[in-house]
Every structure is written in C-alpha cells, then in structure tokens.
C-alpha cells in the first residue's frame, strides 16, 4: 500500500498524488499497519507517515522504520528519525543479531534505528509524537513515546520513567500532555506524561484498558476495558482520580446466565529467588475440598504479556468452565516487570523462562485441591515451543500436552520464518554461525526436537497451513516424531488459517478438539 493525497470537492476526487511514487516501499507497513501510521497536521499542510524504506535482505532482517514528513506545498519529504547525511552500517552481517552491530551517525547526532511508527500531531501543530523503539532488529523492545519539536528538530522521550512499553496514546487538547496505556504487573492501565517526562498513573484496576478519545473539557477519557472475565465494553475514566463509569453492557443477559470462575493473583518464588506473578483461574462453584485437573498456560510472543486479556480462543473462563484450574505465569521474557526481566529470554529460550514454568506448576500443584496426577500444559507460538520443549524435560509432571503453531525444530525454523530479524535477535544468529567456543547458539543446541528421545506423554499438535511465521511443517514433524516413538498424538491442520485461528467455524473445531484431547487424558 501507498499513501495518496487528493483534492475532494464534495463530489469527486481529483489531482491524486502518490507520496511514494516510484518507490518499492509500503506505508502503512505490512502486515499489521493501518491508519494509525498516517497523520494530517492540524493546518492540513503536512502529512506524517510511517515507512521502512528497505528492500531485500535489509527488509527481512531489520525493524528500522522511520517517520517521514511530507510538505504538501513544496512536495518534499524529510526523515524525522535520522539526521541529514546519516548512513546505515556498510557491512551488515545478515546472519547475526543486530544488537551488537555498529550504527553510524553523522556529527554525533542521534539516529532512531528501531521501530518508529504511529505519528500524531499535537493539536497546536508544534509537535509530533510517535512510538519509538531504540534497537534495530528487536521487535519487542520497549516502546517509548518520542516527542519531536517541529521548529527545532529536538527529540525527547517522555516515558523514560515508565519501565515498560507504551501502547496507544492521545494528546491533550492544550498539547501539554500525552495519555497512554501501558502494561505493568499483568494489567494494562492508563497513565499520563507531560512534555518534561513527569508521569502519573490514572487507573490501577485488574483489567486491560485501550484508549478511544478524550471527552470535551479533558475531564474524562473514553476507553474500552476488558478483563479475563469480561470482553470489551465502553467506559469513561476520570483523568484526575481514575474513577471508572461503565457506559455499555451489551452482553448483560449472557453474563447473568453464565457461571464465572474466580480469577486470583498468585506470586511464586523462582529458582533464582525472584517473585513471579501468575493469574489463576478457578472453575465456577470451586470447592477447595475437591481435586481438580490443572492446566499450565504457556504464553507466546515470546514477549507478549499475560495481562487481563480477553481471548475468544485462549479463553481461560472457558477452560475453567470445563472443570480445569488454569495457571498463567508471567515468566521470564514478558513485559511489565522491568527491562531485566523482559530481556532474560533473548538468546535463552530454554533457560530461566522454562524453569519459571516448572516453578509455577509445582507451586500450584502443592495445593490440596490440585490433582498432581492430572496436569496438562498448553500454548501457542512460543507457547507451542514451550510445550514441545517441556515434553522432553518435564520429569513426568504432565499427562497431556497441546502445542499450537509452535516451534519444534529451531534450526529448521530459522530459514523458514518471514521475520528473520526476530530469529536473529532471539536466537542470536543463524544455525551455521558458531560462537567463540565453536558452538551454535544455545537456541539451536537446546531445540525441542533434540529431546524427543525423552518424550513419554500424549500430545496434540495444531497448526495453520498459511502460517509463515512458523511453518506448519513444525507440527507435522513433531506429530511424526511422537507417533514413531509410540506416543499417542493427534495432528490438526487448518488449510485456511495463518498464525491465528480467525474463522468462526474453525474456532469451534479448535475448541472441540482442544477439550476432547484434554478430557481424554486428564479426566
């Protein structure tokens, strides 16, 4: 896609102008970009757009997108993220993580080399704010709010004091503040930052918020809010005291006729002495004198938070309604617990993050109401990788596994994925590149497929055949390996799905297959 500019007299469009005419680039950026990556100036004289102006191997291995400003009168474009004369590294090694490779800047000027996207002009037209990541190749870097002063070219990062990433954001009407949503300790709450970087948290609910708009007068925010027990509804939030008022309840009749499980916060001590947050979802009408089968939920990403998200597929209330306790840990590598916790997974897929999963299931299994003989582990994407790895390293803890769109063989997956920057950063390099000790990176030396000789537990493998992030051959390979080992296994492939299950009928089949498998081995 390209952004176009045109005149409109109320009846017809004329004088069309392609802002990227003749250029082999895209804006908005594929695959997820939309109108949020474009912005009009308040005086309608300028357009800001997001673009990653790279092709070939650079496009496949770099996340370096920029904010460009197009002047309608002069028909000129300038890059707001790079100083004039800036050049990219001349000798890029496309098979290694970009985190240790050089970045060139002219005259000591700074250059934004990570993801820069989603520009918004301030109402007074003096500033542009956008979401900015610091490092090239790291798509899960902390997203900061960058504020660019158009008159001086000065950039400031007003959320440096928030040790997590920024989601959606809004300008205040007087252009002095920015409201934003951000995850912290398993909840996506609302915050406000002024242009000097002074921060204030507005809400502190067990919920996830997303911004819609500021209401006139700047006294209230219009927001969407959901939790592990409720889908999105519309609310207002008082910007001073955080008081929440619900405006819609479209599903009240259904809520009133369903039994819901309790959701509780649980903190577990990890093997290295830190504290880890898990959400525990209990079956409706939970009776602590009984024993329940229990599921360990393994999150994907691998840097996606286990917040108060509402999912129509990985829905913990549905799992609880089937009689399962669910424990969902915020293991190493998930945002909302500081930079160090987030980045301990980079280059180490099978280290502390996997020990965190075992700590979580061992902790909940110590409760008298958990049946230790009926434990299962389920997950998608990196969660699927986790399931495949746990299958060979669980020491007979689990009685059933389900892996959806997971990585089974990291060496194979490296050259299959369409996001090579992701593999380079998280795995460290290509499989054929050796470290100083003459070894492959740890991600390849500890790939799940190397532990198949230890597999001993029934496993269901699910995959979409249009998944180019992680090819469906990963599930086929895992299924075949299990069957050759004489282990009960089932393979479910969706010919018309990608990395997610998006079609309603497929979603129903997914749920039925999921619970039939669990019920067979855990009930």
Positions marked catalytic:
381, 467, 499
List, in sequence order, every residue forming a beta bridge with 170; answer none if it has no partner.
179
Pull the structure tokens for residue 519. Answer: 């019920």
Cα separation, 345 vs 332, whole angstroms: 6
- Cross-strand partners of 193: 178, 199
- Residue 29, classed as helix, strand or coil, is coil
**Burial level of 365, CB count in 10 A (0-12/13-18/19+)?**
middle
Q: Secondary structure of 291-330 in the HEC alphabet?
A: CEEEEEEECCCCCCCCCCCCCCCCCHHHHHHCCCEEEEEC
d(CA 419, CA 29): 14
Strand order in the sheet with 489-494: 263-269, 275-281, 325-329, 292-298, 370-380, 400-404, 459-464, 489-494
Cα 427 to Cα 22, 340, 511, distances in angstroms: 36, 18, 32
The gap between the terminal CA atoms of the chain, to the nearest Å, is: 51
The answer to whether 202 and 242 are in contact (CB under 8 A) is yes
CA distance 339 to 520: 41
40 sits in which H/E element: strand 38-40
Give the residue carrying structure tokens 């590598």. Answer: 333
Residue 442 burial (10 A CB sphere; 0-12, 13-18, 19+): middle
Distance between CA atoms of 60 and 470, rounded to whole angstroms?
15
Q: How many CB atoms lie within 10 A of CB 97?
A: 23
| Rounded CA separation 425/270 (Å) | 25
Give me the sign of the Cα torsion angle 502, 506, 510, 512: positive
Scanning the structure block, which residue is given the tokens 């499989």? 431
Q: Alpha helix (H) ranges present in 42-110?
A: 56-61
C-alpha to C-alpha distances, 27 to 35, 286, 300, 379, 469, nearest whole angstrom: 9, 51, 27, 33, 21
The residue length of the chain stands at 523
């Amino acid at each position: 896609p390209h952004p176009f500019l045109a005149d409109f007299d109320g009846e017809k469009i004329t004088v069309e102008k392609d802002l990227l005419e003749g250029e082999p680039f895209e804006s908005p950026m594929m695959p997820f970009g939309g109108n949020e990556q474009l912005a009009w100036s308040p005086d309608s004289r300028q357009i800001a757009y997001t673009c990653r102006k790279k092709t070939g191997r650079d496009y496949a291995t770099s996340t370096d997108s920029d904010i460009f400003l197009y002047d309608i009168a002069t028909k000129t474009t300038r890059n707001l993220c790079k100083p004039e004369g800036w050049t990219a590294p001349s000798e890029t090694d496309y098979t290694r993580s970009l985190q240790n490779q050089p970045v060139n800047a002219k005259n000591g000027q700074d250059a934004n080399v990570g993801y820069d996207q989603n520009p918004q002009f301030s109402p007074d037209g003096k500033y542009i704010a956008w979401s900015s990541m610091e490092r090239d190749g790291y798509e899960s870097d902390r997203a900061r709010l960058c504020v660019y002063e158009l008159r001086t070219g000065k950039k400031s990062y007003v959320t440096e004091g928030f040790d997590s990433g920024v989601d959606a954001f809004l300008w205040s009407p007087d252009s002095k503040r920015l409201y934003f949503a951000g995850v912290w300790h398993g909840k996506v709450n609302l915050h406000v930052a002024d242009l000097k970087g002074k921060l204030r948290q507005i809400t502190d609910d067990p919920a996830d918020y997303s911004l819609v708009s500021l209401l006139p007068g700047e006294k209230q925010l219009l927001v969407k809010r959901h939790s592990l027990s409720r889908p999105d509804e519309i609310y207002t939030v008082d910007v001073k005291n955080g008081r929440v008022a619900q405006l819609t309840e479209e599903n009240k009749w259904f809520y009133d006729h369903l039994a819901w499980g309790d959701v509780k916060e649980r903190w577990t001590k990890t093997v290295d002495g830190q504290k880890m947050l898990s959400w525990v979802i209990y079956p409706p009408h939970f009776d602590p004198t009984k024993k329940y089968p229990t599921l360990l939920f393994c999150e994907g990403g691998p840097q996606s938070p286990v917040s108060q998200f509402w999912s129509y597929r990985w829905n913990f209330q549905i799992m609880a309604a089937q009689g399962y306790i669910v424990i969902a840990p915020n293991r190493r590598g998930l945002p909302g617990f500081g930079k160090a916790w987030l980045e301990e997974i980079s280059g180490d897929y099978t280290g502390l993050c996997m020990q965190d999963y075992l700590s979580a299931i061992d902790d909940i299994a110590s409760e008298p109401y958990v049946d230790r003989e009926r434990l299962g582990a389920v997950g998608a994407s990196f969660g699927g990788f986790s399931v495949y790895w746990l299958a060979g390293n669980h020491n007979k803890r689990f009685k059933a596994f389900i892996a959806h769109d997971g990585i089974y063989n990291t060496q194979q997956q490296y050259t299959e994925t369409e996001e090579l920057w992701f593999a380079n950063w998280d795995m460290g390099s290509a499989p054929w590149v050796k470290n100083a000790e003459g070894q492959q990176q740890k991600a390849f030396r500890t790939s799940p497929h190397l532990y198949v000789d230890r597999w001993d537990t029934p496993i269901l493998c699910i995959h979409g055949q249009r998944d180019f992030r992680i090819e469906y051959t990963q599930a086929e390979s895992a299924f075949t390996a299990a069957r050759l080992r004489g282990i009960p296994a089932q393979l479910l492939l969706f010919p018309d799905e990608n990395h997610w299950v998006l079609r309603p009928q497929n979603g129903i089949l997914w749920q039925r297959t999921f619970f039939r498998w669990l019920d067979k081995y855990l009930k």
